[in-house]
Structure 1
Amino acid sequence: MNAAMPQRHIWLCADDYGLSPGVNRAIRELIAQRRLNATSVMVVAPACGRDEIAALREVAAGASCAIGLHCTLTAPFHPLTMHFRPLDGGAFYPLGRLLRASVMRRLDPEIIRGEIAAQLAAFTERVGRPPDYVDGHQHVQLFPQIRDAFLAAVKEAAPAAWVRQCGRSGGLRAGHPKVLLLDTLSARFRVLARHAGLAANPGFAGAYDFTRDSDFGALMRDFLAGLPDGGLIMCHPGYVDDVLASLDPLTTQRERERTFLASDDFARLLAAQSVALAERRAAA
Structure 2
Amino acid sequence: MNTPRTTTLQRLNRLVRYGMVGVAAAAIHYGVLRGLGLILVEWLANPIAFLAASVAGFLGHALLTFREETGGQRFARRWLLLQYAVNLSVCGVLPVLLPAALGQNARDLVLVFTPTVLNALIWSRAARFTARRRTQSQQTPLRHADDLGLAAGVDAAILELARSGHLDGASLLVDGPTAPEAAQAWVGLGRPRSLCLHLCLTEGPDRSAGPNLPASFGQLLLASVLPQRRALIRPQLEHSLRRQVGRYRELTGETRIRLDGHQHIHLVPVVLDTVLNLAEELQIDWIRTTAEPLPTELHWTAWASTVCHGGLLKWLVLQVLSAQAEPKLLAHGIGTNGAFAGVLFTGRMAGSAMTRSLAALASTGRRRGLGPALLLAHPAGEGSAKALAQRGFALSAHFFASPWRQEEWKALRAHAPHE
2:198 alignment partner, SS class: strand
Aligned twin of 2:412? 261
Question: Highest CA radius of gyration, 1 or 2?
Answer: 2
Whole-angstrom CA distance in 1 between matches of 2:148 and 2:408 = 15
Whole-angstrom CA distance in 1 between matches of 2:275 and 2:150 = 21
Aligned twin of 1:57? 187
Q: Which amino acid aligns with 2:258?
A: Y
Whole-angstrom CA distance in 2 between matches of 1:223 and 1:41 = 24
What is the Cα deviation at residue 132 of structure 1?
Answer: 5.2
Aligned twin of 1:34? 165
**Alignment check: 8 A CA contact 2:207 2:215 kept:** no
What is the Cα deviation at residue 85 of structure 1?
Answer: 4.3
Q: Structure 1 143/104 Cα, relative in aligned 2: closer, same or farther at 3 Å? A: same
Q: Structure 1 134/103 Cα, relative in aligned 2: closer, same or farther at 3 Å? A: same
Of 117-126 and 218-227, the range deviating more from structure 2: 218-227
Aligned twin of 1:233? 375
In structure 2, the gaps of 5 or more residues are 1-134, 296-301, 367-371
Whole-angstrom CA distance in 2 between matches of 1:170 and 1:69 = 27
Aligned ranges 1:207-246 → 2 under 5 Å: 207-210=343-346, 216-227=350-361, 228=364, 229=366, 230-243=372-385, 246=389
Aligned twin of 2:65? none
Whole-angstrom CA distance in 2 between matches of 1:209 and 1:43 = 25
Selected match of 1:22 from 143, 153, 156: 153
Aligned twin of 1:109? 234
Aligned twin of 2:252? 127
What is the Cα deviation at residue 98 of structure 1?
Answer: 3.1
CA-atom RMSD in angstroms: 2.8
Aligned twin of 1:97? 219
Q: Which amino acid aligns with 2:200?
A: T
Selected match of 1:200 from 321, 336, 343: 336
Whole-angstrom CA distance in 1 between matches of 2:245 and 2:293 = 27
Is 1:178–2:290 an aligned residue pair?
no
Whole-angstrom CA distance in 2 between matches of 1:118 and 1:80 = 13
Q: Structure 1 183/34 Cα, relative in aligned 2: closer, same or farther at 3 Å? A: same
**Alignment check: 8 A CA contact 2:354 2:411 kept:** no
In structure 1, the gaps of 5 or more residues are 271-275, 278-284
Whole-angstrom CA distance in 2 between matches of 1:202 and 1:99 = 24
Selected match of 2:243 from 102, 118, 123: 118
Structure scoring higher RCO (CA < 8 A, sep ≥ 6) equals 1
What is the Cα deviation at residue 100 of structure 1?
Answer: 2.9
Q: TM-score, normalised by structure 2?
A: 0.55
Q: Which amino acid aligns with 1:111?
A: Q
The alignment of Structure 1 onto Structure 2 pairs a total of residues equal to 253
Q: Report % sequence identity.
A: 26
More helix by share: 2
Of 201-210 and 173-182, the range deviating more from structure 2: 173-182
1:26 alignment partner, SS class: helix
Whole-angstrom CA distance in 2 between matches of 1:100 and 1:66 = 32
**Alignment check: 8 A CA contact 2:142 2:375 kept:** yes
Q: Which amino acid aligns with 1:71?
A: L
What are the superposed Cα offsets for residues 10-53 of structure 1, whole Å, 9 maximum, x if unpaired?
A: 2211001111111011100000011001000011221112x332
